[in-house]
Amino acid sequence: MTDAYPDRLGRLAAALDAPAGSLTVVRAPGRVNLIGEHVDYNAGVVLPMAIDRDTLVAWRVRTDRTSTARSLEVPGLVTYAPDGRTGPIWGAFVEAAVDAAESLGAPRTHLDLAVTSTVPAGGGLSSSAALGVGLVLAHCMAGGVDPDPRALALAAREVEVAATGVPCGTMDQLACALGVADHALRLDCRTLDATAIPLPRDLAVLVVHSGIERTLAGSEYAERRAACEAAAARLGLDALRDARIEQVADDPFARHVVSEIGRVDAFVAALERDDHPALGHILDEGHASLRDDFRVSLPEVDRLVDALRTEGAFGARITGAGFGGCVVALAEPDRVESIA
């Protein structure tokens, strides 16, 4: 718990007009993806980690058939009742979360919800996955159900698709629901196997916002996903996970996916050896592949990646879906302040 938690919990209680300390609150962290970008929806392997920015969801149970939700950051009140929903757009997450919790075995419950988040929206750090996981978990717990974390993640992924229309993969919600402190998570997005990989103590993970916000609904995310699925179909494969690099040599999008999957286990091996130059090199290769082959970077982000390396990071790359948002870099812990 950081110093900010008592203050955040107090503000949630005030928003619900509840005595401080009387609330149940769930916490859903954001994530940064270390390597394995745009491979989750190709049944590949990814390496995200949960971060210390999070979404907190508090609630009071209601006895009628109406739910309300408010955010401490976004103005407006969501109301959700049998005759429809009103209020800010993120109410679509609340509506979908009610159904998702029911699908996980929770009786339909109506709540007054208050939400606060330190995960920047549009930054590639899974603010929406944290919101979805937090809302589904809140409805499950209010209904007396403690869901299996994988089932929770998959249900929250459905919430995101329903609320935004973006055909996202499963990495973000799985990282949020299964994340382990001080570890990265090697996730096999085909089998949903998760292995916690310890992060060496002499390695700092630095996340820097480019200042360029993006939404996936407004990006080329769905187009890229469709292109990957078409490439797999042309090869007669279920998913690009099953392609060899020679098979995709002439298709830059597919080439990114296949080469990126190879980088994930190379990165895990380098983490286990605590091999800083190798880790940096893999990040640099990953960025070049996202920039040149998958074409999801921007000149401003490329300049930020270069600047981080020049200032002493071992390596850096754009993280998340791309088109703006954050860059992840690795550095020695005592260099972090000066690099930032």
Residue nearest to ligand GLA according to CB distances in the complex: 169
Q: Pick from 9, 16, 30, 37 the residue near ligand GLA by CB under 6 A.
A: 37
Which 172-201 residues touch ligand GLA, going by CB under 6 A? Answer: 172
Work out whether 168 is an interface residue with ligand GLA (CB under 6 A).
yes
- DSSP string computed for 138-197: HHHHHTT----HHHHHHHHHHHHHHHH-----SHHHHHHHH--TTEEEEEETTT--EEEE
Distance CA 58, CA 202 (A): 36
Distance CA 27, CA 29 (A): 7
Cβ atoms of 176 and 28 closer than 8 Å: yes
Work out whether 54 is an interface residue with ligand GLA (CB under 6 A).
no
Task: Look up residue 43 and give its two tokens.
Answer: 């049944």
Residue whose C-alpha is closest to residue 47's, from 262, 227, 274, 215: 262
In this structure, the strands spanning 67-71 and 111-117 are: parallel
Distance CA 171, CA 174 (A): 5
Applying CB under 6 A, the span of 14-22, 35-43, 262-270, 300-308 interacting with ligand GLA comes to: 35-43
Cβ atoms of 94 and 111 closer than 8 Å: no
Smallest gap from residue 320 Cβ to ligand GLA (A): 5
Minimum CB distance to ligand GLA smaller for 38 or for 317: 38
Cα within 13 Å of Cα(181), Cβ side: 2
Active site residue 172: yes
Smallest gap from residue 321 Cβ to ligand GLA (A): 3
Applying CB under 6 A, the span of 38-46, 67-75, 82-90, 234-242 interacting with ligand GLA comes to: 38-46
Distance CA 181, CA 31 (A): 12
Work out whether 41 is an interface residue with ligand GLA (CB under 6 A).
yes
# chain residues binding ligand GLA, by CB under 6 A: 11
CA 266-321-305 angle, 5° bins: 65
Applying CB under 6 A, the span of 32-40, 69-77, 205-213, 265-273 interacting with ligand GLA comes to: 32-40
Of the residues 172, 284, 292, 293, only one is catalytic, namely: 172
Minimum CB distance to ligand GLA smaller for 171 or for 271: 171
Applying CB under 6 A, the span of 30-38, 137-145, 174-182, 237-245 interacting with ligand GLA comes to: 30-38
The contact pattern for ligand GLA, residues 308-327, with x = CB under 6 A and - = no contact, is: ------------xx------
Smallest gap from residue 217 Cβ to ligand GLA (A): 11
Applying CB under 6 A, the span of 6-14, 167-175, 270-278, 330-338 interacting with ligand GLA comes to: 167-175
Cβ atoms of 208 and 304 closer than 8 Å: yes
Minimum CB distance to ligand GLA smaller for 122 or for 147: 122
Minimum CB distance to ligand GLA smaller for 134 or for 143: 134
Which string of b and e fits 306-327 if b means at least 16 CB within 10 Å? eebbeeebbbbbbbbbbbbbbb
Contacting residues toward ligand GLA, per CB under 6 A: 33, 37-38, 40-41, 168-169, 171-172, 320-321
**Catalytic site positions:** 172
